[in-house]
Amino acid sequence: MYMSKFGRTKEQVMAMSQQMGQRFAEAGLPYNFSDAALTGNTFNSHRLIAYAGTLGDETQDKVVEALFHAYFADEKFLNAPETLIDAAVAAGIDQDEAQKFVEDETRFRAETAEELEVGKSLRVSGVPHFLVERDGRRVQVGGAQPAEAFEQLFSELLA
């Protein structure tokens, strides 16, 4: 999947993964990546994040953290119902409500599709993705970046 998504060879993807692992280590975060990891459509994860946002910023942040940990540390598939339910429960969403939400794929479908279109218009191709605006100027940085990338971002905005 990564090879086709990024147009790279398996060796290039594994090298990219090593760089990401270094970024995670610098931030004190766990990271695990192997060629056995499952990836694919993450629409239902995005639905859950959108729903969690209606429950509050803290709930949404906790869902995102749980999903990132499931994916980047535990190599779990982000569209698997059990992964989604576990992330919701970790964020404080009731188990039964989480199960109902995951099973009803019509909930937050339209809102999520709209948000993804905004992301496409901004050329977002991965996570995390940061968009910073100041005085009408907009600068973006995506992916696992070193601190220097953010220093450059803020320097550009303050110039």
Q: What single string gives the DSSP state of each residue in 25-92?
A: HHTT------TT------HHHHHHHHHHHHT-HHHHHHHHHHHHHHHHTT---TT-HHHHHHHHHHTT
Residue 30's pLDDT is: 82
Considering only 25-34, 57-66, 132-141, which range has the smallest mean pLDDT? 25-34
SS3 104: coil
Q: Which helix (H) or strand (E) holds 132?
A: strand 129-134
Residue 130: strand pairing partners: 141
Residue 1 is predicted with a pLDDT of 55
Cα dihedral across residues 145, 13, 43, 79: positive or negative: negative
b/e sequence 23-45, b meaning 16+ C-beta within 10 Å: bbeeeeeebebeeebeeeebebb
The 8-class DSSP code of residue 144 comes to S
pLDDT: which is higher, 130 or 54 = 54
Q: What is the pLDDT of residues 6-18, one digit of tens each?
A: 677 878 877 877 8
- DSSP bridge pairs for 29: none
How high is the pLDDT of residue 59?
98
